[in-house]
């Protein structure tokens, strides 16, 4: 039978079928974050240990402070999680990238940059944006607490096989348009539930041209489509990205791995359950207006009216989003005053993101009405950015230059916006209270975020 990329990787990890459509799968990599540090105590109560500690890699990222000079978290409770992660790593022999270690950073940033993420592997993590790793051709998704314990104890996972969707993204990105704009447009096109029950393969000429870090951003937001996972077939760009990284294969193992990776592509006549097309030739910078990533418009468009929605539930959700965000339908989003700008998160904190942001910030100043942070995705990204002088560009423009962590994306470390404050953020979710109780979040690309910081209001980066 002709197989999709997803089918090939799934079948390669199937130990046995447990029921129609339900399989027991072998797990290659388990990335572990600080928010689940206390689960080790629950595992011990069950009389279980860690089956394959050499396949588990831990990092504090959600609760760790991003303040310059930090040594841990901002509060006693965050220190408790970090300490529990350290104890468990030592007890079970798990590799830990601790707070100020060279390898520390946001879990979905350090995975690819350390070579832990590789084409064709099954990679799991107790974080919803684990689909990021599919940008390198890995099969990856986020798991819940009980599944995290199951993987620790058995190095396996029981899963129902999803359907297959292919998203064909065609064309060349216009000036001022980033991969973040592409995926936001797709979410707006098919909806936040448009990918529910599917594993998505991103294909097409735009994806082939896109660099790996852009592909990681695309796959990162697959969960915001409701999808199980997102993947891009590994090509020469992916192979060169992995080559020479600390945990990449080497010698004969490398040659054997590359041979396997080159076979990871959907067969020409493979059948998908759904196909979606997106032409990016006329795409403009995107920004969200509501409280779901699907509430998105081009920067030159008007905020849509709830009455335009045919579905009553969608109509109510749109109105609730407008009320929460303090906006009116039929008006432009451009020109809306803001209080905060956040450049960071597992979506947009890689070196390419900081370069594109710095290109807009260079020689300009952040509005005195705006508080603006840049939080690099990892120690490696921070070090490279400083070597290139990007930190100086941001500092001279009036941004704060912070330490790696999830920070204002979710506020799990206590770093949050105030009630009613409005933010333009490069993160992945604009849910109610996501950046703090009452906080209002607009999702955008790094260049769009910088443009807003400079103008003091939501603005079209192309005008700069």
Question: Which CATH number is associated with domain 5-161+232-261?
Answer: 3.30.499.10
Q: Give the count of alpha carbons within 13 A of 129, CB side only.
A: 25
Q: Give the pair of three-digit tokens for residue 39.
A: 């689960």
Q: 154-166 in b/e burial notation, b at 16+ Cβ within 10 A?
A: bbbbebebbbbbb
In the chain, what are the domain boundaries?
5-161+232-261, 289-463
- Residue 1 confidence (pLDDT): 79
> CA distances (Å), 272 to each of 87, 90, 357, 412, 422, in order?
46, 45, 37, 38, 41
β partners of residue 298: 286
The CATH class, in words, for 289-463 is alpha beta
Residues 208-219: tens digit of each pLDDT: 999 999 999 999
**Domains 5-161+232-261 and 289-463 in one fold:** yes
C-alpha 110/C-alpha 133 separation (Å) is: 10
CB under 8 A, 24+ apart: contacts of 260-264: 260/119, 260/120, 261/118, 261/119, 261/120, 261/137, 261/234, 262/234, 263/8, 264/5, 264/8, 264/9, 264/119, 264/120, 264/137, 264/233, 264/234
The answer to whether the pTM exceeds 0.75 is: yes
DSSP 305: P
- Residue 289 confidence (pLDDT): 98
User: What does residue 304 show for φ and ψ, rounded to 5 degrees?
Assistant: -70, 155
Identify the segments of the chain with pLDDT beneath 50.
none
Geometric angle at alpha carbon 168, from 118 and 22, rounded to 5°: 55
Residues 372-385: tens digit of each pLDDT: 999 999 999 999 99
Classified as helix, coil or strand, 316 is: helix
14 burial (CB, 10 Å; 0-12 / 13-18 / 19+) is middle
């Amino acid at each position: 039978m002709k197989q999709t990329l997803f089918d090939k990787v799934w079948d390669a990890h199937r130990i046995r079928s447990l029921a129609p459509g339900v399989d027991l799968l072998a797990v290659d990599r388990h990335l572990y974050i600080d928010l689940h540090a206390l689960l080790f105590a629950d595992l011990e109560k069950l009389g279980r240990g860690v089956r394959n500690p050499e396949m588990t890699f831990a990092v504090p990222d959600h609760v760790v402070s991003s303040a310059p000079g930090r040594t841990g978290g901002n509060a006693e409770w965050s220190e408790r999680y970090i300490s529990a992660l350290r104890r468990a790593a030592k007890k079970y022999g798990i590799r830990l990238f601790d707070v100020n270690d060279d390898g520390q950073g946001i879990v979905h940033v350090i995975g690819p940059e350390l070579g832990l993420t590789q084409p064709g592997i099954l990679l799991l993590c107790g974080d919803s944006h684990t689909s990021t790793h599919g940008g390198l051709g890995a099969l990856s998704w986020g798991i819940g607490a009980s599944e995290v314990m199951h993987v620790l104890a058995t190095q396996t996972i029981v899963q129902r096989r999803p359907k297959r969707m292919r998203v064909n993204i065609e064309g060349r990105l216009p000036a001022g348009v980033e991969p973040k704009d592409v995926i936001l447009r797709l979410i707006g096109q098919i909806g936040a539930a448009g990918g529910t029950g599917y594993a998505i393969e991103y294909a097409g000429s735009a994806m082939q041209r896109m660099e790996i870090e852009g592909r990681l951003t695309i796959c990162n937001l697959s969960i915001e489509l409701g999808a199980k996972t997102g993947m891009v077939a590994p090509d020469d760009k992916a192979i060169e990205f992995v080559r020479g990284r600390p945990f990449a294969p080497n010698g004969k193992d490398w040659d054997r791995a590359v041979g396997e990776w080159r076979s990871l592509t959907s067969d020409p006549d493979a059948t998908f359950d759904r196909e979606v097309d997106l032409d990016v030739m006329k795409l403009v910078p995107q920004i969200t207006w509501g409280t779901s990533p699907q509430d998105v418009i081009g920067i030159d468009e008007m905020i849509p009216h709830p009455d335009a929605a045919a579905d009553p539930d969608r109509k109510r959700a749109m109105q609730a989003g407008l009320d929460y965000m303090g906006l009116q339908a039929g008006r432009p989003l451009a020109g809306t005053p803001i209080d905060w700008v956040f450049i960071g998160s597992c979506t947009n904190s890689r070196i390419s993101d900081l370069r594109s942001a710095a290109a807009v910030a260079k020689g300009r100043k952040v509005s005195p009405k705006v508080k603006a942070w840049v939080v690099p995705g990892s120690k490696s990204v921070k070090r490279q950015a400083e070597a290139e002088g990007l930190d100086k560009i941001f500092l001279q423009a009036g941004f704060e230059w912070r330490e790696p962590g999830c920070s204002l994306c979710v506020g799990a470390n206590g770093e949050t916006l105030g009630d009613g404050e409005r933010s333009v953020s490069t993160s992945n979710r604009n849910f109610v209270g996501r950046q703090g109780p009452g906080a209002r979040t607009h999702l955008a690309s790094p260049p769009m975020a910088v443009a807003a910081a400079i103008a003091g209001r939501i603005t079209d980066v192309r005008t700069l």
